[in-house]
Amino acid sequence: MIERIRSICTSLEGVTEKLSHGEPTFFVKKRVFVMFANNHHKDGRVAIWIPAPTGVQEALIEHDAETFFRPPYVGVKGWVGIVLERMDDQSLEAHIKGAYDCIVSP
């Protein structure tokens, strides 16, 4: 699953990848915009955590709580978790590009 994420993230300008908290994490302008989470604290999910504009997290979770969730630690800041097996590539790319834009053009 990380290959899907890596392919999308590294196609964007200025992106670097590093391990952070034991997981592949993608940065732009020295700020995280995608964190891979493989069974984080045994939650059973293979997911990513991404920043989202104000109000988007709540709307996504309300629309589809099986795909979207409020991740620990960063969820209080509006970040959203996405369960990868429930997301097609085109939608995943759109969400990742949206997260990138949150950091590049706040």
Following DSSP, what letter does each residue of 44-65 receive, concatenated? S-EEEEE---TTHHHHHHHH-T
Q: What tens digit of pLDDT does each residue of 11-65 get?
A: 999 999 999 989 999 999 999 999 999 988 888 999 999 999 999 999 999 999 9
Residue spans of alpha helices (H) in the chain: 2-10, 56-63, 89-104
Cα separation of 99 and 34, whole Å? 7
Domain ranges for the chain, please list them.
Answer: 2-104
pTM of the model: 0.93
Domain 2-104 has CATH 3.40.50.11540: no
Cα separation of 34 and 36, whole Å? 7
Q: Which amino acid is at 50?
A: I
